[in-house]
Amino acid sequence: MRNLTIILLYCVISASVSLTREELAAFQPRIQGYIDPNTGKEAVVYAWDSLLGYQVIRTNGIPSHQVGMFDENDEIVQRPYELQEAITELRIFSDPIMRDKPLRCMPMNFVGIATSGTLIYSWFPLTPGCLDIRKESKEFDVCSGHPSPSHHYHYNFYSPCVQIPVCGKPSPIYGVAIDGIPIYGPISEDGVQMTSQDLDECGGRVGRDGRYKYHVTADPPFFMGCFKGELRSDSGKSVEDFVCSCPYDDSMFSSTGPPNLSRTPTVCSSSPSNGSEPMSCWDEMYLRELPYQIPYKWEHQDKEIVLIACCPQGSDCGNSCKTEDGNKLLCFQERKTVKYLTRIAKTSESGTVRAA
């Protein structure tokens, strides 16, 4: 009888957790024992359920896969920031709490953690005009990652080194967002690679298992466009990160120095007495009363893109479909016309509008 009670209790826990036991186990180095040539350190990443109402993902931020050399003194390669350790501990609700309305102001710095242990950032860099990330930039290495100005290696869009999509096969978990909602790869349960058109405004959908999940796609915003879940007050994110910046406000950014956060107040606060309480956020009111008008807007326009490369079923594509010279010939990559989120200058006095 006691064993039956334990089994039933485990089934209840398994049905309600943000991350299942299998998903928690997916957080581990991609290449065991890999030593990062930039720091000489080995990647550390693991996740567990505390059984106290929260789950934990811990990483030292060291890449656990092939990585480029990042030397801030190297002007030829155009990689201006060195890579350093980024010890991070994220706490999420074991049982996700969905928000009444999405949190639209994406915080600065990391917005999720990949199963490889690498941090996930928003697709907007910290620049005036909220320029979108350019995948072809030489700042990115073969795994589509690079260090931030704070020297934290991260992804702004899909990294082929976290997982290799298998053509026609549903993608496994890719990571987790800071609101506790899992991030899955681009291929649906039907074996079709999705784009942002197949997802809601936050970049997610409800799967056949009844769970809401975000998905990484080949087109913007690549990861989450907003948050559907509540964040714990002790999530591990600094309250100072929660400001309304891009794509709503770029006034804090400078082309010559770091962001001036004094120009933009925070839009969330943590409970000082109980870390398990959700953060309190008022971004909707802030955006409604925002006096500053950024001179750009984002519209969906037809554009042909190359989808994420996948490995044919039954083939051995190694650790990644990507090499320094491009994708492996064995891997398959489809072209598709999508409604691409495009940065547009607002109508000028002459009435012209141009893509930026």
- State the Cα–Cα distance between residues 239 and 350, nearest whole angstrom: 42
What is the share, in percent, of the chain residues with pLDDT greater than 70?
Answer: 85
Q: Which residues contact 182 (CB under 8 A, 6 or more apart)?
A: 18, 19, 23, 173, 175, 176, 211, 213, 214
The residue behind tokens 């598709």 is 336
- Predicted confidence (pLDDT) at residue 313 exceeds the cutoff of 50: yes
Q: Each residue of 207-219: pLDDT tens digit?
A: 999 999 999 999 9
Q: Each residue of 151-202: pLDDT tens digit?
A: 999 999 899 999 889 999 999 999 999 999 999 999 999 999 999 999 999 9
Q: Are 110 and 122 in contact (CB under 8 A)?
A: no
Helix ranges (DSSP H) in 132-276: none
Q: Tell me the average pLDDT across 8-26.
A: 67
Q: Each residue of 87-136: pLDDT tens digit?
A: 999 999 999 999 999 999 988 889 999 999 999 998 876 677 787 766 55
Query: Comparing 23-37, 70-84, 101-115, 171-185, which segment has the lowest mean pLDDT?
Result: 70-84
Q: Are 183 and 169 in contact (CB under 8 A)?
A: no
Rounded alpha-carbon distances, angstroms, from residue 84 to 43, 72, 356 = 12, 12, 33
Q: What is the predicted pLDDT for the residue at 8?
A: 37
The model's pTM: 0.89
